[in-house]
Structure 1
Amino acid sequence: MRRPKACAACRARRRKCVVQPGHDRCDYCALHAIDCVHELPRGGWYEKRAILKEQNGSPSKTQGSDSGARSSGADEAIISPSASTSSVDHQSGSPVLLPDMALRLELVDAYFDYVHDQFHSIFHRPTFVEDAAQDLVPESLLFGILAMGARFSTNPALSSIEPRERGRRYFEEAERRLNLRDISLRTVQLSILLGAYATGDGDTEAENLCYSLACRTAQLIGLPHRPAPTALEREIDIRVWWSLCMIDVWSSTAVKLPRLLPPDGDGAPLPMDDLPFLYLPRVDSGNSPSTPGSVFERRSPLIGQMVLLNRILLEVNDFNKRCVAEPPPSAAELETGVQTLVGRMDAWLAALPADVRDTDDNLLWFNSHGLGRIYAAVYLGYYHFGQLLYYQFLHSGGTDSGEVTPAVAEAGSVSLSPAVSPALARVYSDRCKYHSARLCDMIYRAVYTPGSDVRYHMVAHVLVIASTVQIHTLLFSDDENQIAEARGRLEKNFEIILLLRDYWPALDRIMARLRLFHETCQVNMGSSFVLDRWMLQFLVAFGGPMDEKPARPQRELDAFYRLDGII
């Protein structure tokens, strides 16, 4: 059998491992400043042979010892049997390893703090953490959760490993344990975890395969309507189902594939308010005696509001696709489509309980109850969907004069926004800038409020889109106050994006997208904001690579961050 030549990182990414002559690390590992580990794949033929040799009393090498890489105590905290719970998978013969209980619970908490309820809502945190402490959680799910949470750990045992790579071994183990013949909620949850990890890696193919498996399995078991023995289990089913419905909208749009689930969720009820959900008991015995009265004094329908907003996102995405299709809609069709969606967004906002509206007091209240990050995520969705809806009107309505410049008019042949009057286009352009500014401000408030800081990778995607709106202000506004505000937002946005880049490999592509957009602005400012097929991909396909543009001189990264003097 041929001995594998790819390093561990490239093998995990399923990409070619390229080592330049005279270099000791491959291109990928050198770019990301990580160790290039040429260890044997876990569960493979070589590892099985090593296990057999050990069982027969023959000496064998431990994983990674042939390269000498990652031999520190940090790595041992992950893979050493002396520091972990160890068992053997009897089907493959490969070792199954977990970190010690203290580190395990720390990573579980990190997952619930920074991923769960923002990326998806598929568990009940109080009972899950309790089960994890008693070693009752299925190991497949536990490995998937550790894979997502490890990147946020501050534990010294992991300090020598790059944050974005800390969970990869756990991911590989969770992936190995995925059983396609297990048609159950566990398979749905594990597939969602694996899909979320692939999303953070920028692996859109694996992401969609995992999410597709989750959707089909959920349909096979009748997840949204199947009977459940307790209210808690019923609510978990509902939340998992709606998580899939929301994932299905943005994931399928990004890769231009048909959606798998019905837009209305097949008539499933919306998730219950989030605070009462957290206090649901394992068995149906009424409210827990320890439930504080404040839980029921205010409304907290955060996940439910995400579901309602996601329906609007579906319509916005479909509308924008129609706008770049052939033949294009008429001016009347364009205006009707925009007004319909404006009405949907206004109706959502008007129906919000006062307790959930976007105010500093509400953010602080939800933060005090451990829901600050979810509260922020709701409004990141609302403001982002608004900037998606109005974005095309930056092209024809974004100048201070409200007039269509010659450059804009020339580029307008491939955009539909000139089909409406300049005055109306200006109104919509201003709304795009309003949503962009509010989105940025919400992220700043969340990031600088302890306990509300949002770190999931799609924050970077929406910030990149918002940053292009700020660039538009720098390029076309004559108002010095607006220019100063836009410059300040760009500086903060870059700071936050670079922070998130430490956690998520997908942000390398997101940063490349912003660089590509900047270069497009340099080539032709007049057509940079035209809503064509390329721009639509830029707006919605946050994980995959963008089409290459004509070659231009490569600038230093720090010059790019300064936007070559624009900021």
Structure 2
Amino acid sequence: MRPASACKACRERKLKCSVQSKSQACQFCQAQNLECSLSLRDRVLARQEHRSKRILAAQPQSPIQSPKNDRHQGSNTAQLFQGAAKLNLKLPPIEVCNEIVDLYFQILHDKQHSLFHYPTFIRAQREGTVPPIIILAIITYTARFSNHSYFKGVERRYRGQEWSRAVKTMLNIQDMEVSITTMQACHLIGSLAISEGDSRMESMCSTIANRTAQLLGLPHRLSSDKLERELELRGTHYTILPCLRLCDSDWLFVVWWSIYMFDVWSASSRGLPRTFTLDPTWEWPMDEVAFNQLTYGTAAHSHEDFDEDLGLRGIHPRRLSMWGQMIPLTDIKSDVFTLNEWTASQNHLTIDENRLLRSVAEISSKLVVWLHDLPPRLHNTPENLAYFVDLGFGTTFLALHVGYHYHSMLLYYQFLHEAESSGPSECLLSSSPYARDYAERCKFHATSISDILWTGSQTPRCECLWMLCGHMLVISSSVHLHTLLLGDDEELINQARNYLERNFELLLRLQSYWPGIFLSTTRLRVFQKACLRAARLNDTFRMDRWLLNMLQEHHEAIVNESTNDDQVNVTGDSLSAANMSAHSPSSTEFQSEMYSWIR
């Protein structure tokens, strides 16, 4: 967190915190005979940070994509390395840290979250003015992707475990401020917790980020200045934005939409109530290309100017934002999760068929409208993919479309059971004319997920390597497994077999990076065995609490309902290297087991 410049007593009373040059306590605390919470060292650090901001603001403001003359005397970088030394924590050399930060923006940023403005963040990181907790979180989260010799001999998915513990320790509630740094740190640490299978930590981080957003008055309290407003919607730390004319130094820019999506995902996957409800009047972020072109000197221009320069007249500029288009999809996801939870709570023989079909039709129409309203530039075509790859946003483009197909697949998933049921004695919906159509839609979307993620793996600068891809591949594979086990069309069965092989290959690659993929692959193994052990193969696809856990609670372990054979003594909260090595099959074993299903 950024160093506080006022003690706790003065902050609570909204007083100026003044200190005499040789005094450890401020004037107010001295007068009231109180123990001042802020040390002289803390005040020095705060002054250093303020000075670094003024120096940065006075420098030329052209964006720096690849700084050649790195400087590392910034106070925050010094704090990071000094803090690491106190914790007996060894950090990579500066050049390795720089490489890891670059990899973060190439592989992870703008896929699961959008927290920073790339050009200004890179500049600030090279100059050492980014808060230490942010840098350490990024290093911990992204070191697994580095090919630097510094990590030689260290398995990718186990890198940074000590750093992970340290960065979580830095998120100290006693020192926490209502600030953008807190929100960014919570989002990064929450994402890190997901990758480690630590669902409780992830949920706690989401809650803190949500409450911070509320205390900041978001999203209603936005700047009237167009550039400042955009950065509030998108999110960038004030210490790395010298281009902004801040009216209130206490008003910190936030990652509102990332926090909103984080809330939906975290709450939905754990069956908890959401903190925020989508308001259609909330403003979307601008498109990614225009956003990355924002530099000092553009504050007088509106975001429309950027889009017109790109030849995009006639389309509302914010409709071109891929991150913006994910917003309604995220809200639809919540509707799908709520529907599936309701279905799982009902008796499949007495379920209210009209209510279920009406709900499915309503959500389905939202997805149809979303797809229909996409600007032509955002349609899923090879030409558009090539366009965004050239701009550096190919993976973001794929993330948008794989999200659409994932939510659609979950909506129709329960009809895989209904379409194959023999009559009302097995399922009330088996006679519905919609059952088979919805089941086919589910299979179409599962196939699309496999196609998109495979295309990414075969396209330079487009590989989809973020953690959630593993869960989507597992659910997609379970749909292909339905075709393989219950299908009667030999051509479709062969296609399903090919898709399973591709999915397994992608899962193996993801497993080499993320320890949490162990939970995903375990779910798939358990699901396949449950299919083979069921009295009727189709029973495994009935929407009940067990299947709901399989589909939605991706952070939890899953076991076979009728046996504990597949239960592992590794929960989603303790995927340590020791536990992983004890319970996780090797890549060769996993590959052998998976491929044995489809031979």
- Structure 1 residues 550 and 99, CA, compared in 2 at 3 Å: closer, same or farther? same
1:397-429 per-residue CA deviation (whole Å, 9 max, x = no partner) reads: 14xxxxx337xx6653xxxxx426343211111
How many residue pairs match? The answer is 469
Paired with 2:370 and 2:416, the residues of 1 have a C-alpha distance of: 24
Offset at 1:519?
0.7
Q: For residues 26-425 of structure 1, what are the structure 2 equivalents within 5 Å?
A: 87-89=81-83, 93-94=86-87, 98-180=91-173, 181-228=176-223, 231-239=226-234, 240-264=255-279, 267-282=281-296, 284-286=299-301, 295-297=310-312, 300-326=320-346, 329-398=351-420, 404-405=421-422, 411-412=426-427, 418-419=428-429, 421-425=431-435
Offset at 1:227?
3.9
Offset at 1:545?
1.2
The letter of the residue matching 1:174 is V
1:82-128 per-residue CA deviation (whole Å, 9 max, x = no partner) reads: x99974349x9546764333211110011112211111111111110
Paired with 1:450 and 1:382, the residues of 2 have a C-alpha distance of: 23
- Structure 1 residues 229 and 185, CA, compared in 2 at 3 Å: closer, same or farther? farther
Offset at 1:347?
0.4
Answer whether contact 2:80 2:132 (CA < 8 A) is retained: no
1:254-301 per-residue CA deviation (whole Å, 9 max, x = no partner) reads: 222221222338x5311111111111124514389x989864548631
Range 215-224 or range 255-264, more displaced: 255-264
- Give the number of the structure with larger relative contact order, counting CA–CA contacts within 8 Å between residues 6 or more apart: 2
Is 1:428 the counterpart of 2:433? The answer is: no
- Structure 1 residues 258 and 172, CA, compared in 2 at 3 Å: closer, same or farther? same
Paired with 2:135 and 2:542, the residues of 1 have a C-alpha distance of: 45
Paired with 1:292 and 1:95, the residues of 2 have a C-alpha distance of: 50
The letter of the residue matching 2:190 is G
Answer whether contact 2:226 2:302 (CA < 8 A) is retained: no
Answer whether contact 2:101 2:138 (CA < 8 A) is retained: yes
- Structure 1 residues 233 and 140, CA, compared in 2 at 3 Å: closer, same or farther? farther
Paired with 1:314 and 1:286, the residues of 2 have a C-alpha distance of: 36
Q: Secondary structure at the match of 1:272?
A: coil
Q: Secondary structure at the match of 1:202?
A: coil
Answer whether contact 1:509 1:543 (CA < 8 A) is retained: yes
Paired with 2:363 and 2:267, the residues of 1 have a C-alpha distance of: 21
The letter of the residue matching 1:270 is W
Range 149-158 or range 252-261, more displaced: 252-261
RMSD of aligned C-alpha atoms?
2.7
* Cross-structure match for 2:533: 523
* Cross-structure match for 2:595: 562
Q: Secondary structure at the match of 2:125?
A: helix
Is 1:551 the counterpart of 2:570? The answer is: no
Q: Secondary structure at the match of 1:375?
A: helix
Paired with 1:353 and 1:247, the residues of 2 have a C-alpha distance of: 25
Paired with 2:269 and 2:480, the residues of 1 have a C-alpha distance of: 24
* Cross-structure match for 1:510: 520
Paired with 2:198 and 2:550, the residues of 1 have a C-alpha distance of: 17
Paired with 2:341 and 2:518, the residues of 1 have a C-alpha distance of: 26
- Structure 1 residues 557 and 550, CA, compared in 2 at 3 Å: closer, same or farther? farther
**Given the two structures, how large is their TM-score scaled by the length of structure 2?**
0.73
**Given the two structures, how large is their TM-score scaled by the length of structure 1?**
0.77
- Structure 1 residues 97 and 282, CA, compared in 2 at 3 Å: closer, same or farther? farther
* Cross-structure match for 2:473: 463
Answer whether contact 2:378 2:384 (CA < 8 A) is retained: yes
Paired with 1:318 and 1:392, the residues of 2 have a C-alpha distance of: 13
- Structure 1 residues 557 and 108, CA, compared in 2 at 3 Å: closer, same or farther? closer
Paired with 1:100 and 1:558, the residues of 2 have a C-alpha distance of: 36
Q: Secondary structure at the match of 1:88?
A: helix
Q: Secondary structure at the match of 2:274?
A: coil
2:488 to 468, 478, 488: 478
Answer whether contact 2:117 2:292 (CA < 8 A) is retained: yes
1:58-105 per-residue CA deviation (whole Å, 9 max, x = no partner) reads: xxxxxxxxxxxxxxxxxxxxxxxxx99974349x95467643332111
Gaps of 5+ in 1: 1-82, 399-403, 413-417
Offset at 1:334?
1.4
Paired with 1:294 and 1:486, the residues of 2 have a C-alpha distance of: 45
Answer whether contact 2:406 2:445 (CA < 8 A) is retained: yes
- Structure 1 residues 162 and 371, CA, compared in 2 at 3 Å: closer, same or farther? same
Paired with 2:152 and 2:356, the residues of 1 have a C-alpha distance of: 53
